[in-house]
């Protein structure tokens, strides 16, 4: 199990387009991928689950990954998040 904390840098947060990009990358892996915001947890492979968390600009959240390819998954998701979902 690995986990990492992130802060969304764009004002609109993890809205539909970046959430869809997140789920697309997350779905490439066998590992279970969870997003945690406060006391809420969402499935990182489910668009609706991510949107329901309400992650807006400046909000901290944690990505927790458990499984056989967790390191690779975290690497790719970290790159995606840190690139601001390639929306700049």
* Active site positions, annotated: 15
What does the alpha-carbon distance between residue 16 and residue 74 come to, in Å, rounded to a whole number? 21
Which residues, 6 or more positions from 80, have their beta carbon under 8 angstroms from its beta carbon? 21, 22, 25, 86
Backbone angles phi, psi at 77, to 5 degrees: -70, -35
Closest CA to 43 of 55, 58, 27, 59: 27
């Amino acid at each position: 199990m690995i986990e990492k904390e992130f802060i969304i840098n764009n004002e609109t947060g993890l809205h539909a387009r970046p959430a869809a990009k997140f789920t697309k990358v997350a779905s490439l892996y066998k590992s279970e991928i969870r997003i945690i915001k406060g006391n809420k947890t969402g499935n990182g492979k489910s668009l609706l689950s991510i949107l329901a968390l309400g992650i807006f600009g400046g909000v901290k959240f944690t990505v927790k990954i458990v499984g056989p390819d967790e390191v690779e998954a975290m690497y790719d998701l970290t790159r995606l998040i840190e690139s601001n979902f390639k929306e700049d």
